[in-house]
Chain A
């Protein structure tokens, strides 16, 4: 299976609510990245968290990393309709240059 696996697969919330997505991985990493992809578009890099970091903020985004559980979460606070997109996590492996993507979480924010 994929190195990064997100859950839930799909999430639908009302505007103003918070959205939390989780990512689990299997092998050791040196960093983990979160991306957003609008339908039919390329990936937008949101945030990178290194393996020695536990939490990182960027605007309305908050990312946590628990290397002991091999998991990360992405929290979007005060969601907006424009946040509707697919969100992917990708892991940067210590032993390889490539990143591996999970299946993504499709977020729908209803106005």
Chain B
């Protein structure tokens, strides 16, 4: 099956710093990737659709200046949480689609 790699798996940072999360499709090319956010004991909420070579499409209520998405190649999308604050602490998961969606293992972000 398709493999999606996400890095890092866990990051702790100070309030005000920026954090970059990478999502790679390892054995296929993905023109579209998706970024989700999950709070404890809740479902996954789609944040944005990352499109290779063009701007990301953000879901309603998601701040595009806060969550910067770059999809510079067919195998890599990055999510940068800018000026992170404790309320940004969450579990972030990326996925890429090859008929079905295949997910990375997720990144747990803790902002102190």
Contacts and interface: CB of A to CB of B under 8 A. Distances in A.
Given A31-B99, A31-B100, A92-B100, A41 B105 contact: yes
B9 to A, nearest CB: 8
Interface residues of B, number: 23
Given A42-B106, A97-B32, A88 B43 contact: yes
Interface in A64-111: 88, 90, 92, 97-104
A42 B36 CA distance: 11
27 contacts: A31-B99, A31-B100, A33-B101, A40-B91, A40-B108, A41-B105, A42-B6, A42-B103, A42-B106, A43-B44, A43-B103, A43-B106, A45-B1, A45-B103, A48-B99, A48-B100, A92-B100, A97-B32, A97-B34, A97-B49, A98-B34, A98-B49, A99-B97, A100-B46, A101-B36, A101-B43, A103-B43
Given A35-B103, A90-B101, 18 more contacts: A2-B43, A33-B100, A40-B108, A42-B6, A42-B93, A42-B104, A42-B105, A42-B106, A43-B103, A48-B99, A88-B44, A97-B97, A98-B34, A98-B101, A99-B97, A100-B46, A102-B43, A103-B42
